[in-house]
């Protein structure tokens, strides 16, 4: 999600930074072909490096801060440093997209706490909606600006929860819907964003529509 949305915003001329805040199960670097970098968010959160040293060039001018995957790196992370990292990066961006881990872990809540506003990415099923309901309650306690939703991997089949029902259950608006698309899997396998590799694919078109919606609504996002 963050890889493709960030790339699309960058294509539209916005200074965009994508930050992988999943300190235990990072994958943004893999998706964008930036795996194996020596300086990542791990080194920044351990206090060894500055945030600007972990910024790499991604597709279409997107700036990317990947996170490491080593156990040693995870053990040295100090999550309380994330707020300063976000503030430092946001000062030089129109959009700072923080890719937060799913669930209710300490790293997930920390990422939510430092966000200017939150967008919940869900799939159209009850399990995902119930998870979003729990995170919504946490966001309210943290006084995060009213969250919004993105429905991902929508198949259009009858087993999908309807958008109106999802909005009704969560009492949150849907910003956009990204369809299930085999081209996304192909792009991930090649370490590319689908909006670059297959710009006419259904998912790529949906990301472009989503980016346009964000540009009309938000001056900045974290």
| Structural domain includes residue 158 | no
What pLDDT, on the 0 to 100 scale, is given for residue 218? 53
| Structural domain includes residue 39 | yes
Contact 91, 14 (CB under 8 A): no
What pLDDT, on the 0 to 100 scale, is given for residue 103? 87
- Which residues face 106 on adjacent strands? none
What pLDDT, on the 0 to 100 scale, is given for residue 109? 94
What pLDDT, on the 0 to 100 scale, is given for residue 221? 39
| Structural domain includes residue 219 | no
pTM for the model: 0.93
What residues make up the domain containing 62? 1-111+203-208
Contact 148, 115 (CB under 8 A): no
Within 10 A of 41 (CB to CB), how many other CB atoms are there? 27
What pLDDT, on the 0 to 100 scale, is given for residue 217? 67
Burial grade of 205 (CB within 10 A; 0-12, 13-18, 19 or more): middle
What pLDDT, on the 0 to 100 scale, is given for residue 104? 87
| Structural domain includes residue 19 | yes
| Structural domain includes residue 90 | yes
Rounded distance, CA 29 to CA 206, Å?
22
What pLDDT, on the 0 to 100 scale, is given for residue 151? 98
| Structural domain includes residue 192 | no
Domain count, the chain: 1
Within 10 A of 54 (CB to CB), how many other CB atoms are there? 25
CATH classification of the domain holding 43: 3.40.50.300
| Structural domain includes residue 218 | no
Give average pLDDT by consecutive 10-residue segment, the chain, 222 residues: 98 97 94 94 97 97 96 93 97 96 90 93 97 95 91 96 98 97 96 97 98 77 39
DSSP output for 40-87: -HHHHHTTSS-GGGG-EE-GGG-EEE-----HHHHHH--GGGHHHHHH
| Structural domain includes residue 40 | yes
Best CA proximity match to 89, nearest among 63, 68, 60, 118:
63
Rounded distance, CA 42 to CA 27, Å?
13
């Amino acid at each position: 999600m963050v890889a493709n949305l960030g790339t699309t915003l960058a294509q539209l001329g916005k200074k965009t930074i994508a930050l992988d805040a999943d300190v235990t199960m990072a994958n943004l670097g893999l998706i964008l072909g930036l795996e194996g970098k020596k300086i990542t968010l791990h080194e920044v959160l351990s206090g060894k490096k500055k945030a600007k040293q972990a910024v790499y060039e991604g597709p279409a001018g997107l700036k990317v801060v990947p996170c490491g995957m080593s156990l040693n790196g995870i053990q040295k992370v100090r999550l309380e440093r994330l707020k300063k990292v976000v503030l430092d990066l946001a000062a030089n961006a129109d959009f700072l997209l923080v890719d937060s881990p799913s669930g209710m872990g300490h790293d997930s809540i920390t990422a939510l706490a430092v966000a200017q506003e939150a967008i919940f990415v869900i799939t159209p099923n009850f399990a995902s909606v119930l998870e979003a309901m729990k995170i919504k309650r946490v966001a309210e306690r943290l006084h995060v600006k009213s969250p919004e939703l993105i429905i991902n991997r929508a198949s259009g089949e009858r087993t999908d929860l309807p958008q109106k029902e999802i909005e009704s259950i969560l009492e949150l608006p849907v910003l956009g819907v990204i369809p299930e698309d085999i081209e996304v899997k192909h792009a991930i396998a090649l370490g590319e964003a689908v909006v670059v590799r297959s710009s006419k694919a259904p998912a790529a078109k949906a990301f472009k529509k989503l980016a346009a919606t964000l540009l009309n609504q938000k001056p900045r996002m974290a």
